[in-house]
Amino acid sequence: MMRRAYTLIELIMVVTLLGLSAALLIPYLSGRGDFDTQAAVRALISDVSFAQSDALANQGFRRVHFFEDGKGWCLLKLDETQLNDPYDAATAQYVRDPLQGAQFSSGYIVDFTKQDRYKTVTIESVDIDSGGRSITFDELGGTVGSNGLPGTGGSLVLRSPDEAYRLDFAALTGKIRVTRLADNG
């Protein structure tokens, strides 16, 4: 009596094809918002670090301001007399974005509505230095409040339909701690 069975090579080929199919299909079956939100978190951390480094390098004040509508942020140049001034888009002195090149003189503004990748991401519940919407760095790279005293830190939440992250800013240093929020509701 002769038995028919699969060879070891055939089984390995089938398992390999199933594994490759799963690896390719699973990201497309789940929502992209989680990847977009993670990318926004990384971009924000990078921009806050850049603002702090720019303050040190240029021995001036730099501020990261989070827009009221929750659709982005901008990097600003300040002097000590402007620490208490509210954000005004018309008079703001923006840091130049070094990635745009010399031919572009536009300011350093991240606007989620102009980038498809971040269109589902919003910034919510910003609370920095007791109710503010900005984190400011002095010429030594430390955080300062609107009164010129050392910053007290704070937090904000980046959220998409699929994911949410809280970013906590440490007092004085501005060090960022990221926490994935379990309940996105």
Instruction: Tell me how far apart the alpha carbons of residues 185 and 178 are, in angstroms, rounded to a whole number.
Output: 18
Query: Using an 8 Å Cβ cutoff, are 73 and 110 in contact?
Result: yes
**Phi and psi of 124, rounded to 5°?**
-135, 165
Of residues 148, 130, 131, 147, the one with CA closest to residue 139 = 148
Query: Using an 8 Å Cβ cutoff, are 52 and 141 in contact?
Result: yes
Instruction: Tell me how far apart the alpha carbons of residues 7 and 89 are, in angstroms, rounded to a whole number.
Output: 70
Q: Which two tokens stand for residue 136?
A: 């400011």
Query: Using an 8 Å Cβ cutoff, are 160 and 138 in contact?
Result: no
Confidence at residue 101, expressed as pLDDT on a 0 to 100 scale: 60
Please list the pLDDT of the chain residue by residue as tens digits (185 residues). Answer: 777 877 888 888 888 888 888 777 765 555 555 788 999 999 999 999 999 999 999 999 999 999 999 999 999 999 999 999 999 999 999 998 877 665 556 789 999 999 888 889 999 999 999 999 999 999 999 999 999 999 999 999 999 988 999 999 999 999 999 999 986 55
Question: Rounded to two decimals, what is the model's pTM?
Answer: 0.80
Q: What's at 5, amino acid-wise?
A: A
Topology, domain 32-180: minor pseudopilin epsh fold (3.55.40)
Confidence at residue 157, expressed as pLDDT on a 0 to 100 scale: 97
Sign of the C-alpha dihedral, residues 86, 89, 93, 97?
Answer: positive
Query: Using an 8 Å Cβ cutoff, are 161 and 140 in contact?
Result: no
**Phi and psi of 144, rounded to 5°?**
-135, 150
Confidence at residue 7, expressed as pLDDT on a 0 to 100 scale: 84
Name the burial class of residue 161, with classes exposed (0-12), middle (13-18) and buried (19+) by CB atoms within 10 angstroms of its CB: middle
Q: What's at 168, amino acid-wise?
A: D
Q: Where are the domains of the chain?
A: 32-180
In a 13 Å sphere around the CA of 156, the CA atoms on its Cβ side amount to: 31
Location of structure tokens 């991401």:
121
Confidence at residue 104, expressed as pLDDT on a 0 to 100 scale: 56
Confidence at residue 33, expressed as pLDDT on a 0 to 100 scale: 55
Length of the chain: 185
